[in-house]
């Protein structure tokens, strides 16, 4: 009788997530990540430092603060507050004040991409950044930050007025500081993170318009595109939202080809959206499963392990580096889908992914997760210098611990917070 590698043995069946040792392991890893990033991230001049491999500020004298770094730290500190980690609320406040007072362009509106102690470094207005501004505001509202409602309202207005394209149900990508058009590029990455932010805003406010927008974005990017491309997520589009297979952009934010990590990220977000939409759209779960399985089949290195960063349209690796965030996103997706789909496949891969993270990605010596490995799994820094952020790895540790009834923050509140009598 041949062994099916995607089936669990009867003597080791059942989800790791229900086992006390594994749950303790996950919380320990989350606590270590908090320790690592909280120790040196706070910039006394406002905002947050990006950290080197050994956990020290990369540019301590005059650090550039990028808006997605500021906002992700706010989101993660909110998670810290919700799980009961002391000190988290002060980090939320530190980030929110810098976001509102510095990143926000008080002259032209919107939020600039980056600045240092002397002023703006990149004063463009990016849809990607504004998605995370909305996420930060929605997260901060859950812990009662006084600026949260202002940030939500302001980000919502800017997204609606400047970025949202009603004809297609998605956002335009980027503008100059004074809102002049600087390109006709359209991309899925910013829209994916906007979907995440819109769901968070819906959970925080109860306003159904956020959920309607999230559904429209998912329908465009996944149902009308990825599903027809054998569940490969198209990254780049022309102004009319026709596919641009020849696009060559930033290797970090807009790499050529397809990115298996984004298929994995979408697979969790789609299941989350399905739940929030009261399980009305079956295409969402069908696509979530298709995206997850296709990313594993095409993106996982069957020799060394890990996900190739990018593939061409013939499904061959372009960039063979293995980054930390696709593994983190795959863990969250396997946990989320596996909570609804009892096929052993998702639990088998959940375990394989944690095995890989434990043995290759987690930096047991210095803390944090290695941001980048070579094809042969040696730590390197061709694409990413240092350890960029807490966001992906922290959620990988905590999503498996909480009910999959919405976002992670929603699950924490449902599980840990008694309703006020």
Kind of pairing between the strands at 114-116 and 65-66: antiparallel
3 state DSSP class of 247:
coil
Number of CB atoms found within 10 A of residue 314's CB: 6
Is residue 392 annotated as a catalytic residue, yes or no? yes
Distance CA 318, CA 307 (A): 12
Length of the chain: 421
Residue with the two structure tokens 């032209």:
108
Q: Which of 68, 262, 360, 410 is catalytic?
A: 262
Q: Which of 145, 236, 370, 392 is catalytic?
A: 392
Distance CA 15, CA 342 (A): 10
Distance CA 310, CA 258 (A): 6
**Which residue stretches of 99-207 are H helix?**
127-142, 148-158, 188-205
Is residue 262 annotated as a catalytic residue, yes or no? yes
Residue with the two structure tokens 């599980």:
415
| φ, ψ dihedrals at 192, nearest 5° | -60, -50
Reference 39, options 31, 358, 84; nearest CA is 31
Residue 4's contacts (CB-CB under 8 Å, 6 or more residues apart) are none
Spatial contact of 202 and 210, defined as CB atoms under 8 Å apart:
yes
Which residues are catalytic, by number?
262, 392
């Amino acid at each position: 009788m041949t062994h099916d590698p995607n089936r669990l043995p009867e003597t080791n069946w059942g989800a790791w997530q229900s086992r006390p040792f594994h749950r303790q392991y996950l919380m320990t890893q989350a606590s270590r990540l908090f320790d690592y990033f909280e120790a040196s991230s706070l910039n006394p001049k406002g905002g947050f430092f990006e950290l080197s491999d050994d956990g020290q500020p990369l540019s301590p004298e005059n650090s550039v603060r990028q808006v997605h770094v500021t906002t992700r730290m706010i989101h993660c500190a909110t998670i810290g507050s919700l799980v009961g980690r002391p000190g988290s609320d002060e980090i939320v406040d530190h980030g929110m004040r810098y976001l509102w007072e510095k990143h926000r362009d008080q002259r032209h509106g919107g939020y600039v991409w980056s600045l240092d102690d002397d002023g703006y470094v990149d004063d463009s207005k990016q849809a990607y950044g504004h998605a995370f501004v909305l996420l930060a505001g929605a997260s901060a509202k859950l812990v009662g930050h006084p600026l949260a409602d202002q940030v939500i309202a302001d980000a919502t207005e800017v997204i609606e007025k400047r970025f949202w394209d009603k004809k297609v149900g998605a956002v335009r990508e980027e503008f100059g500081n004074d809102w002049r058009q600087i390109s006709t590029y359209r991309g899925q990455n910013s829209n994916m993170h906007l979907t995440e932010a819109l769901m968070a805003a819906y959970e925080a406010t109860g306003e159904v318009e956020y959920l309607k927008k999230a559904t429209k974005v998912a329908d465009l990017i996944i149902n009308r595109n990825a599903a027809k491309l054998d569940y490969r997520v198209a990254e780049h589009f022309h102004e009319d939202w026709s596919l641009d297979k020849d696009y060559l952009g930033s290797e970090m934010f807009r790499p050529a080809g397809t990115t298996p990590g984004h298929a994995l990220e979408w697979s969790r977000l789609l299941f989350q959206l399905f739940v929030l939409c009261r399980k009305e759209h079956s295409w969402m779960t069908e696509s979530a499963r298709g995206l997850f399985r296709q990313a594993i089949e095409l993106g996982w290195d069957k020799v060394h392990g890990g996900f190739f960063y990018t593939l061409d349209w013939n499904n061959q690796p372009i960039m063979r580096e293995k980054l930390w965030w696709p593994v983190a996103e795959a863990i969250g997706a396997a946990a989320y889908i596996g909570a609804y789909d009892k096929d052993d496949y998702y639990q088998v891969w959940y375990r394989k992914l944690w095995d890989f993270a434990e043995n290759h990605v987690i930096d047991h010596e210095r803390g944090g997760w290695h941001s980048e490995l070579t094809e042969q799994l040696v730590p390197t820094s061709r694409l990413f210098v240092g350890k960029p952020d807490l966001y992906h790895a922290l959620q990988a540790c905590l999503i498996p611990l909480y009910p999959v009834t919405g976002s992670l923050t929603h699950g924490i509140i449902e599980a840990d917070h008694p309703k006020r009598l």
